[in-house]
Structure 1
Amino acid sequence: MVRGPSPTVRRRRLAAELRRLRETAELTIDEVGEKLECSASKISRIETGHVGVTPRDVRDMLEVYGIEDDEREALVQLAREARKKGWWHAYSEVFTGSFVGLESDASTLHTHQALLVPGLLQTEGYIRAVIRATRPDAAEAEVERRVTARLTRQKLLTDTHPPEYWAVLDEAVLHRTVGGRDVMRAQLENLVSLAALPHVTLQVVPFEAGAHAGMDSPFLILGFPEQADPDVVYVEYTTTGVYLEQPSDVRRYTLMFDHLRAAALKPDDTVVMVEQAAGRLV
């Protein structure tokens, strides 16, 4: 996998800049739609990044905002780049929304999971067992397609410039035997191996810590290298997930993650716990 600024992040950056320029021009979404003879909802979807935008649309919008040629062409070029397809488009039936695109361009990934090993750390056997359990009606071809997609996504951690990855797990993750004893032991041994990588940090919140900040739902905080791309939080639910981009939401989840790290075992002690859990499955 070759990493580089993903089209998803570029579209997000472009959307934020178009919104800023409209507000600077003191125009409402309705006024822009009227000037461009399109619906206000189209302008709104473009500004929220929910839909792509053509270079022609960007050029027309910037003309309305009074943007000069040089800056205009730079943003039109950004629109062209945002329309390119990332590797994950080959698995569009598996990866819905913009999650994988954002993940692929993040410089930091901080996640908490209370039930499962995070997707980027799962072994092939564990992946297959999870998919079969959560999608009992899936045909074998679909299961294998999803396994392949997740394994491809995992190449992010072995890239030449991988993100800083920090995972905090509940101890329950270590004791839930997914896929049988052999599969689970291999998964735990894989966690030990991955924890030795310089860009991966693994911690476990032990049962004895009691109630903790991450008991509500799994979440992932994505940080980006460019100041123009603010952090975003992805909160995962059973059948879907939501993105939180408001600074107050990001601060709240960052604080939650800090509390989880404080309640968790130190990384070295975590590795010992994981090794012991694997040993019980021999």
Structure 2
Amino acid sequence: MESSSADPAVVLARFLACLNDIWIKAGPPSYAEVEALSRKFATPVQGRTLRVEELKRSTVQRILSRQGKTLPKWPWVASLVTVLRVIASQNGVAPDDLGTLDEWKARYEEAWRRFHGRPRETPSPTGERPDTAAVREAAVPRRVPVPGVRPELRRLAGIRLSGSSQGRDQAMEEHAGLHALAGRFKTAGWWRRYWDVVPEWAELYLDLERAARLIHAYEIQFVPGLLQTPEYAEAVIRLEHGTAPETQINRRVELRMLRQKRLWGPNPPRLWAILDEAMLRREYGGPATMQAQLEYLLKVSYLPNVGIQVMPLGKGGYAAAGGPITALRFAEELLPDVIYLERLGGADYPTGAADMLHFGQVLDRLSIEAATPVESRDMLRRLCSGK
């Protein structure tokens, strides 16, 4: 039995059978659909920088029909898994049911060892130097079980709970779970000395944002608070709180700047922000303020822990037509992701399984539709020059 399991032909057949299984589970899609979607990708979601290869239909068909005699290369496998995860989410299938990239990497390494009779020693699959890849991987959080937190809160999502009494009871239970989650972190309540300028609906978010290892956001109206200059922050704060005392305006700006310190400090979170181009063309605070804000965005886009994509006007960002979305992910394995939907005068924290899946799909699509990070830097440079 052992010799059979170590037979290279058997190892290859089993590995390709697993790829065929998730192909079917994701749709199954057509070869043309997979090829077309692979061309649209700049970077996968999940905070990684692995560039997706073009998955030519002829190559995909040849490999999955087992016409090859060796294992496909890891970047190709990772690209296929990433594209199938997106297709699965679009078809209402939980992407993690297909397996995460980490799980597939472990499966690939084991297949390689059995196929070649030795451990695989290759450069990082991202194409980066090992030290750089380690920094990137450190930004990808892992999850551990948390007592008292429902496991179905784990996925990103988006449809609201029903208005039935059962739905309301479930919402109360799950929101209580979010508060319990926030209380687990030592950073909970770090903002207390600004209690007079923090609305109740934002308290939970400030606790969770401080503890997050990955912050994935789409913004349509304003530059995210974590990326605002002091002058820009003051301008947008005055839009909503223009009649407030000057001391409160200043305290709100000060709190926003304190939130940003984590991006520049040790062990910073990974911030992945998708910005609608329309917001970048609105001169909040006047031309000079907006010019400085654009230049600042260009500067921070080069930080290793910050990724910025711009959603071109021509794309519209229809996947998130309802408004801004922020997803928070934490370092411990199995901790639930948290969705935050801010609106005028309040915020929602959807926790239902259907909601989590829906918003995961939305953020996936936005990452595909938006300009790549390199293209986005070019757009920011053009905006800085007034084009």
- The structure-2 alpha-carbon separation of the partners of 1:245 and 1:273, relative to structure 1 and needing over 3 Å to count, comes to same
In the TM superposition, residue 163 of structure 1 has moved relative to its aligned partner by 1.1
Is 1:268 the counterpart of 2:268? The answer is no
Taking the TM superposition and a 5 Å limit, the aligned residue runs for 1:232-271 are 232-271=338-377
CA contact (8 A) 1:45 1:51 kept: no
Correspondence list, 1:14-93, <5 A: 15-16=148-149, 48-49=176-177, 86-93=189-196
Q: Distance in 2 between matches of 1:233 and 1:47?
A: 11
1:112–1:169 CA contact under 8 A, matched in 2? yes
Give the conservation status (yes or no) of the 8 Å contact 1:112–1:220.
Answer: yes
Compute the TM-score of the two structures, normalised by the length of structure 1: 0.71
Q: CA deviation at 1:15?
A: 4.4
Shift of 1:211: 5.2
CA offset digits 1:113-150 (Å, max 9, x no partner): 01110000000000011111121211101100101111
The question of whether the paired residues in 2 share the 8 Å contact of 1:231 and 1:245 is answered with no
Distance 1:263 1:233 in 2: 21
Task: Tell whether 2:315 aligns with 1:212.
Answer: no
Aligned residue pair count: 220
- Report SS of the residue matched to 2:197: coil
Residue 275 of structure 1 deviates from its aligned partner by 1.4
- Unaligned 5+ segments in structure 1 are 1-12, 18-40, 53-77
Summarize the Cα distance change of 1:85–1:214 in structure 2 as closer, same or farther, 3 Å threshold. Answer: closer
Equivalences for 1:157-172 in 2 at 5 Å? 157-172=263-278
- Structure 1 position 245, deviation (Å): 2.4
The answer as to whether partners of 1:16 and 1:47 remain within 8 angstroms in 2 is no
Q: Could you tell me which of 161, 178, 187 is aligned with 2:284?
A: 178
Seen in structure 2, the aligned counterparts of structure 1 residues 136 and 270 have a Cα distance that, compared at 3 Å, is: same
The residue that corresponds to 2:211 in the other structure is 105
Alignment partner, residue 65 of structure 1: none
Counterparts in 2 of 1:221 and 1:47: CA distance versus 1, 3 Å? closer
SS of the counterpart of 2:336? coil
Take 1:86 and 1:103, find their aligned partners in 2: how far apart are those partners? Answer: 11
- d(CA) in 1 for partners of 2:385 and 2:187? 47
What is the Cα deviation at residue 213 of structure 1?
A: 0.8
Instruction: Tell me which of the two structures has the higher relative contact order, counting C-alpha pairs closer than 8 angstroms and 6 or more residues apart.
Output: 2
TM-score under structure 2 length normalisation: 0.52
- In structure 2, stretches of 5+ residues that fail to align are 1-145, 151-168
Q: Tell me, in whole angstroms, the C-alpha distance in 1 between the residues paired with 2:174 and 2:186.
A: 13
